[in-house]
Amino acid sequence: MWHNSFGSKFKIEIWGASHTPEMGIRIEGVPSGISLYEGDFMSDILRRKAWGKETTSRIENDIPTIVAGVMNGTTSGEPIEITFANNNTRSSDYSQFESHNRPSHVDFTARAKYGEGVDLRGSGQFSGRMTLLLVAAGVVAKKIVEGVKYTTKIVEIGGSRNKAEFDQIVTSAMSEGDSVGGVIECRAEGVKVGLGEPFFDSAESLIAHLLFSVPAVKGVEFGDGFEVARKRGSQNNDCICNAEGKTATNHAGGIVGGITNGNEIVVRAAVKPTASISREQQTYNFENGAVEPLIIKGRHDVCIALRAAVVIESAIAIALADLKLRA
């Protein structure tokens, strides 16, 4: 059984897959009276689209269709349903992986859990294609959490934090039939004090939950993250400067005790290198019971992080919307 939903008050549920005729998202908990048009989605959708030789050559229109929950450009208070068509599919590219599983990909684990009937065309529901639905939900979430300014950027690619080197690193990996990972940082300014609960529903817990739903995300840190383990308390403590809770520093990344403190929320997500690479790899072939060379053909991103910044931002916005409606 699939469990493809998130949220308590702002609840999202996705359906469809990478190569089904359409895929969609249902959003519950959106108050009535919010202006929402299909054109509102396009700015963020365009930030996610493939745009060059370093990204997948699969090009989709990605035009949203609002089928429920909006009347005359205004939310009705009923669940919102949005669909997208999948037109540019090449399912035959994936047939060899049924027995000859790709390393570090979902081919083995998905079949082990769901059986041979699982739809892995284009990687199915495990595909980065599904992040389009998170971006759509993020657009709605941003309308609920008004006044928040998001600044999202790639801060590292292939181990380098020098932006001037990013293009060369990606191009080099592509020429060698390989891929590279990256780190994306999102800063959310204007989040009010008091969102989140201690322990299980902390602001960090919900944000991290959403971020780890993004395919290829393998690490999440807030504020100074793992660096705080190398500091003393006197170096890490954020001194409070005024009655609004403004701090002199922001090592905590805007969240203390699981609750937002009014300072800028700072989150970074580590995105792994694309598992599907054209360089020859050794992997087990279930058809003949031997480890054999595998050469992957098809359309894949050299660096997933190049298109993922808006996805990370959207996931954070969704979590903040759920937290706001719970407060």
Q: Identify the pLDDT of residue 128.
A: 79
Residue 310 CA to its chain's centroid (Å): 8
Q: Identify the pLDDT of residue 96.
A: 73
DSSP notation for 240-268:
B-STT--BS--TTTTEETTEE-SSPEEEE
326: which 2 tokens? 């719970």
Residue 202 CA to its chain's centroid (Å): 19
Lowest model confidence (mean pLDDT) among 97-111, 132-146, 159-173, 283-297: 97-111
Q: Identify the pLDDT of residue 86.
A: 87
Arithmetic mean of pLDDT over the chain: 91
Rounded Cα gap, residues 122 and 48, in angstroms: 18
Rounded Cα gap, residues 82 and 84, in angstroms: 7
pLDDT in tens, 45-64: 999 986 666 666 556 689 99
Residue 312 CA to its chain's centroid (Å): 5
Q: Has residue 233 got a pLDDT over 70?
A: yes
pLDDT in tens, 254-298: 999 999 999 999 999 999 999 888 899 999 998 889 999 888 876
Q: Identify the pLDDT of residue 99.
A: 79
pLDDT in tens, 77-130: 999 999 999 886 666 666 777 778 888 888 888 888 888 778 777 666 777 788
Rounded Cα gap, residues 137 and 13, in angstroms: 10
Residue 136 burial by CB count (10 A; 0-12/13-18/19+): exposed, middle or buried?
Answer: buried
pLDDT in tens, 180-212: 999 999 999 999 999 999 999 999 999 999 999
Q: What is the DSSP letter of 21?
A: S
Average pLDDT over residues 317-321: 98
Are 183 and 269 within 8 A, CB to CB?
A: yes
Lowest model confidence (mean pLDDT) among 54-68, 139-153, 165-179, 254-268: 54-68
Q: Identify the pLDDT of residue 53.
A: 60
Average pLDDT over residues 23-32: 97
Q: In this structure, how many other beta carbons lie within 10 angstroms of the beta carbon of residue 10?
A: 25
Rounded Cα gap, residues 62 and 42, in angstroms: 9
Coil, helix or strand at residue 192: coil
Rounded Cα gap, residues 156 and 67, in angstroms: 39
Coil, helix or strand at residue 44: helix
Are 171 and 300 within 8 A, CB to CB?
A: no
H or E element, residue 166: helix 166-175
Q: How far is CA 182 from CA 24, 40, 44, 157, 261, in A?
A: 28, 29, 20, 4, 28
24: which 2 tokens? 């969609």
Coil, helix or strand at residue 218: strand
Phi, psi for residue 68 in degrees, rounded to 5: -160, 155
Q: Identify the pLDDT of residue 321.
A: 98
CATH class of 5-326: alpha beta
Q: In this structure, how many other beta carbons lie within 10 angstroms of the beta carbon of residue 111?
A: 18
Q: How far is CA 235 from CA 187, 228, 247, 257, 261, in A?
A: 22, 9, 14, 18, 19
Phi, psi for residue 303 in degrees, rounded to 5: -140, 105
Q: In this structure, how many other beta carbons lie within 10 angstroms of the beta carbon of residue 93?
A: 18
Average pLDDT over residues 214-234: 96
Q: Identify the pLDDT of residue 304.
A: 92
